[in-house]
Structure 1
Amino acid sequence: MTATSTATDRLIMTEQVCKSFPLPEGKGEFTVLQDINLSVKSGEVLALLGRSGSGKSTLLRIMAGLIPPSKGQVVSNGKRLNGSNKDVSMVFQSFALLPWLTVQENVEVGLEAQGVERKERRQRALKAIDLVGLDGFESAYPKELSGGMRQRVGFARAFVMEPKVLFMDEPFSALDVLTSENLRGEIDDLWNAGTFPSRSIVIVTHNIEEAVFLADRVIILGANPGRIRGELMIDLPRSHDRNSDRFKTLVDYIYTVMTNPDVEVTSGAVASPKVAPSVPRSPYAQVLPHARSGGISGLLELIVDQPEGTDDIPRLAERLQLEVDDLLPILDAAVMLGFAEVFQGDVHLTEIGRDFATTTILRSKDLFRQQVLEHVPMIVSMVKTLQEKQDGSMREDFFLDLLDEHFPREVAVRQFATAVDWGRYAELFEFDASEDRLYLPEPVAAGE
């Protein structure tokens, strides 16, 4: 392929795209995306896969022209993007249908806004409705439809615009398991049959199996800030067979790299050695996985019952019916606290993790406290602050202010809530929600 044809095949490109949002009270900026360079090629399904905080939905909206980048540029159809991207249509997680319009009227909305005359609007809408299997429901209103049928209307509304690229932002996550599986399969069938009404698809997802099933290429994003860690070619014949060994290898590999944020992503799907994570300069810049102590304990108890205290992460996620954004923070917390290790898609309990999962409640709290003090500098700093106060207490706002230096307010509040949960379970401090204050625990008198 020549350089010219390669450039022609790149429908959308991002060049050094960054996105930042201001922190509260003028305390600087929080960087959501950093130096994003990627291209969307003609004839491919591209998946953007990342955990919560990786900025994948923000990146999709920047490429759609819904929000501008702070730095860098987006090139679409060979031209720098200014404003909304007319080469794309988007299917959102929420159905976003107008309840007072029928199915056909909802599908025609975009065409009407473009000034397409009524007869052509009707023909194109009916064709799109038929394509998603909703013929017969043209005159129905959204309230008459199931969730899956409403999302089909969302697809038809995007299809009718005949975009060069279809953007899908977690389009199946609001649906039940069976409905999402059915709709996912139908979209894949349309693409494989060559009847899909766009030249490329970009899907944002946090579902690893979904990415491997639908995509030809997966871009894995890191978080805090969002950045491209690497890409993976899905070297499987279409349609992708979930039962093939290669499919399972790819899923296991992606689980491995997503649970080890410091390893290099390699195109051959071979896990690199673990790299020691860098330690932030401020203890309050440390990112705590948003997982409660009870969830960590419960997960370890499930794993310890498996042979040799080892479990396959994809199988564990399927057994628990948990999405990546729900399971991985609990795994991250177990790894951070030294209770577990992750490698090649498996989670393995350490010796102290086995002890924690099988001992008495009192000893488990002692072990939790020991691991928190060893591995979580933020909680260590919070305890030292309380110890330096004569009354052994400090208002919540003090710690939130320190966290605000590094995170948006919503994230700072979540970080504080996690630290409080871990610190209380470890009996390092107490929290009075009515006063919004942390306290050192009262010493237990002898004989009590």
Structure 2
Amino acid sequence: MRRSMSPATDRPVNGEVLLETVDLTKTYAGADGELPVLRGIDLTVRAGEIVALLGKSGSGKSTLLRCLAGLVAPSQGTVSFRGTPLAGANPGTAMVFQTFALLPWLTVQQNVELGLEARQVPPRERARATLDAIDLIGLDGFESAYPKELSGGMRQRVGFARALVVEPDVLMMDEPFSALDVLTAENLRGELMELWESGRFPTRAIVLVTHNIEEAVMMADRIVVLGARPYGTIRETFEVDLARPRDRASAEFEDLIDRVYRTMTGRAKESRLPGRAGAEEIERRTVANSPLPTASVDGLSGLAEIVAHRGGRCDLADLADDLGLEVDDALPQVDALELLGFATVSDDDLVLTELGTAFARADVQRSKQIFADAALEAPLVKLIATGVRQSRSGTMGDGFFRDLLAHHFTSEQVNQQLERATDWGRYAELYGYDAEPREYRLDEGVQRSST
């Protein structure tokens, strides 16, 4: 790719600090004022490295990426590019999104040219640089094609070409492979790493947002794990001292995945972190400190049944591998089983409790009864069930619960929590929900005592 737009004398040398955050905090408006999403983030990104931001949903990793790109302003602290605090969009970064974000009425070449056009690059130079980027990323022959004519993998290649054509110092990638099928993602990921290693990659650093532990270990030189409760903080940073290309079957690779997994899930270390709830506080669950995991009843039931078939205990990594999943894909179901008291995690093993074993082996009606009793241990489910039972009309508008949740969650998180609570409560026959009046109601078929 051409380098004329970025003179060699201006190119950062390996090790130079390109991006830096100091005490970065980001909050959004909530019912009680500001709700923290990120707090106290100190991070550096240096030339010559790939940094992966890893964490569960809600850990703020995408918000952090947008702060680094200057698309979102921090509420407190600073974000600097090459020593200069940002006052707007970061001129040294370009973004690749999860959802391609292509303009359907433009051809591949026109989509790739957009960034150069915005920088007022002359048409002839713009076309030359665009064709170089298209060639680099393997899109030769598709210059005049429209997005609707391309596969998902080819559309994402257009996204990469559009970002790389402006030759950013830092390429920002927000889960760029998650919308692709497994084989396409693996192929594109491999090609990008080959380009990175070849020295032909027209960028000096990469910041990758992912929830995929194996992807982070495969690609990154440094993995920054973000914790999600009660707001996004850096839980731990791992230096990845593994030679490329990396061998997934090596003991070192698997050991690092295990260590990152334990940190990401908070097992063993979470209760010792300053300011976090200790073991003595676990029983005092509230809607704020015990949000419902993004796991459906079918999903958590299926996981419980599989573990029961394996004797009630199994290694999570082995289970995920057997099922063709990433370990982190099963984390919401694991969290749900733990919240319900159906399972515990010991080291890297998922172990069914006596109650969980009974749930997994029971017939449909008995399993629903067991689930109903356990679901009432989830604070939001209990709150809704108690509310409708104590209401004179046997109904309560969801606005009441939205207002309560808004003190602790963003509007998007409020929607997610209520959707999950509705799913669990309906299955357990604890309450029903009418979408038109947007209200919960006591299920007439339920003869359960008030909680």
TM-score, normalised via structure 2 length: 0.86
Matched, 1:159 2:164: yes
* Structure 1 residues 261 and 56, CA gap change in structure 2 (3 angstroms): farther
What CA distance in whole angstroms lies between the structure 1 residues aligned with 2:29 and 2:328?
A: 25
What CA distance in whole angstroms lies between the structure 2 residues aligned with 1:428 and 1:139?
A: 57
Picking from 183, 202, 224, the partner of 1:219 is 224
Residues 285-304 of structure 1: pairs in structure 2 closer than 5 A: 285=288, 286-304=290-308
Gaps of 5+ in 1: 267-273
Q: Report if aligned partners of 2:433, 2:440 keep a CA contact under 8 Å in 1.
A: yes
* Structure 1 residues 443 and 148, CA gap change in structure 2 (3 angstroms): closer
Picking from 25, 37, 40, the partner of 1:18 is 25
What is the letter of the counterpart of residue 19 of structure 1? K
Cα deviations by residue, 1:28-87 (Å, 9 ceiling, x for unpaired) = 222211111111012111000111111111111111111211111101111111111111
Shift of the alpha carbon at 1:326? Answer: 4.8
Q: Report if aligned partners of 1:253, 1:344 keep a CA contact under 8 Å in 2.
A: no
Shift of the alpha carbon at 1:137? Answer: 2.7
Matched, 1:258 2:264: yes
Q: Report if aligned partners of 2:213, 2:328 keep a CA contact under 8 Å in 1.
A: no
Picking from 393, 396, 412, the partner of 1:410 is 412
- Which is worse superposed, 391-400 or 164-173? 391-400
Residue aligned with 2:294, SS: coil
Match of 1:361 in 2: 364
Shift of the alpha carbon at 1:204? Answer: 0.6
Cα deviations by residue, 1:139-184 (Å, 9 ceiling, x for unpaired) = 3333332221221122122222111111111111121211111000
Match of 2:7 in 1: none
Matched, 1:241 2:236: no
How many residue pairs match? The answer is 430
Kindly report the root-mean-square deviation, in angstroms, between the aligned alpha carbons of the 2 structures.
2.9
Shift of the alpha carbon at 1:301? Answer: 0.4
What is the letter of the counterpart of residue 364 of structure 1? S
Cα deviations by residue, 1:256-280 (Å, 9 ceiling, x for unpaired) = 33333672599xxxxxxx9638559
* Structure 1 residues 440 and 150, CA gap change in structure 2 (3 angstroms): closer
Q: Report if aligned partners of 1:16, 1:35 keep a CA contact under 8 Å in 2.
A: yes
What CA distance in whole angstroms lies between the structure 1 residues aligned with 2:151 and 2:381?
A: 47
Cα deviations by residue, 1:106-143 (Å, 9 ceiling, x for unpaired) = 32222232232334323322222221122233333333
Shift of the alpha carbon at 1:217? Answer: 0.8
What is the letter of the counterpart of residue 16 of structure 2? D
What CA distance in whole angstroms lies between the structure 2 residues aligned with 1:323 and 1:148?
A: 20
Q: Report if aligned partners of 2:305, 2:361 keep a CA contact under 8 Å in 1.
A: yes
Cα deviations by residue, 1:366-418 (Å, 9 ceiling, x for unpaired) = 33233334x32333343443443344443332222222222223322322232
What CA distance in whole angstroms lies between the structure 2 residues aligned with 1:337 and 1:185?
A: 40
Shift of the alpha carbon at 1:283? Answer: 2.8
What CA distance in whole angstroms lies between the structure 2 residues aligned with 1:212 and 1:290?
A: 24
State the percentage of identical aligned residues: 51
Match of 1:271 in 2: none
Q: Report if aligned partners of 1:430, 1:441 keep a CA contact under 8 Å in 2.
A: no
TM-score, normalised via structure 1 length: 0.87
* Structure 1 residues 358 and 246, CA gap change in structure 2 (3 angstroms): same
Picking from 66, 86, 102, the partner of 1:97 is 102
Gaps of 5+ in 2: 1-11
- Which is worse superposed, 152-161 or 80-89? 152-161
What CA distance in whole angstroms lies between the structure 1 residues aligned with 2:293 and 2:90?
A: 35
- Which is worse superposed, 106-115 or 382-391? 382-391
Match of 1:339 in 2: 342
What is the letter of the counterpart of residue 128 of structure 2? Q
What CA distance in whole angstroms lies between the structure 1 residues aligned with 2:327 and 2:136?
A: 31
- Which is worse superposed, 402-411 or 214-223? 402-411
Q: Report if aligned partners of 1:47, 1:218 keep a CA contact under 8 Å in 2.
A: yes
What CA distance in whole angstroms lies between the structure 2 residues aligned with 1:325 and 1:257?
A: 12
* Structure 1 residues 425 and 79, CA gap change in structure 2 (3 angstroms): same
* Structure 1 residues 415 and 41, CA gap change in structure 2 (3 angstroms): same
Match of 1:269 in 2: none
What CA distance in whole angstroms lies between the structure 2 residues aligned with 1:233 and 1:388?
A: 54
Residues 381-400 of structure 1: pairs in structure 2 closer than 5 A: 381-400=383-402
What CA distance in whole angstroms lies between the structure 2 residues aligned with 1:216 and 1:405?
A: 38
Q: Report if aligned partners of 1:99, 1:141 keep a CA contact under 8 Å in 2.
A: yes
What CA distance in whole angstroms lies between the structure 2 residues aligned with 1:278 and 1:323?
A: 31
Shift of the alpha carbon at 1:443? Answer: 6.1
Q: Report if aligned partners of 2:429, 2:446 keep a CA contact under 8 Å in 1.
A: no
What is the letter of the counterpart of residue 157 of structure 1? R
Q: Report if aligned partners of 1:427, 1:441 keep a CA contact under 8 Å in 2.
A: no
* Structure 1 residues 354 and 143, CA gap change in structure 2 (3 angstroms): same
